[in-house]
Amino acid sequence: MKTVLIVDDERDAVDVLSLMLEMNSFEVMVAYDGAQATGMIETRRPDLILSDFMMPELDGAALCERMKSDPDTAHIPFILMTAAIKPLDEIPADSVIKKPVELGVLLDTFAYFLQRGGTARYA
């Protein structure tokens, strides 16, 4: 079973995403901001990180930059969720998914990174 770390400060969104992923055979870890996620990743590495862009403490962009600059975590696929309209090309995320997130798009993106690897920038 693959493990996904969801990082989002919107608890209702986390609950819905967690349920959807668990129903699709993923083990789910949850952090409510980037700082909490960083601590969790130090003790247990997820197979994939799904993070919101706008969060308090340490936002999704800063978390992504931190993960991708660390040789121990740079290999973990990092998918950023955002409702932002502006391009996020300067952020080293493996993929960017627009909010509201559609389950089919999310699962296809996960499958791409967990089975084949690569970078699919916008979904």
Pairing of strands 48-52, 78-82: parallel
Residue 115 has pLDDT above 50, yes or no: yes
pLDDT digits (tens, 9 = 90+) for 11-40: 999 999 999 999 999 999 999 999 999 999
Strand partners, 49: 5, 78
Residue 85 pLDDT class (50, 70, 90 cuts): low
Q: Does the predicted model carry a pTM greater than 0.75?
A: yes
Q: Please tell me which residue, 101 or 118, carries the higher pLDDT value.
A: 101
Least confident of 16-30, 54-68, 79-93, 102-116: 79-93
**Long-range Cβ pairs for the range 42-48 (8 Å, 24+):** 44/3, 45/73, 45/76, 46/3, 46/4, 46/5, 46/76, 47/2, 47/3, 47/4, 47/76, 47/77, 47/114, 48/2, 48/3, 48/4, 48/5, 48/76, 48/77, 48/78, 48/79, 48/110, 48/113, 48/114
In the CATH hierarchy, which fold is given to the domain comprising 3-116?
Answer: Rossmann fold (3.40.50)
At residue 28, φ and ψ (nearest 5 deg) are -120, 130
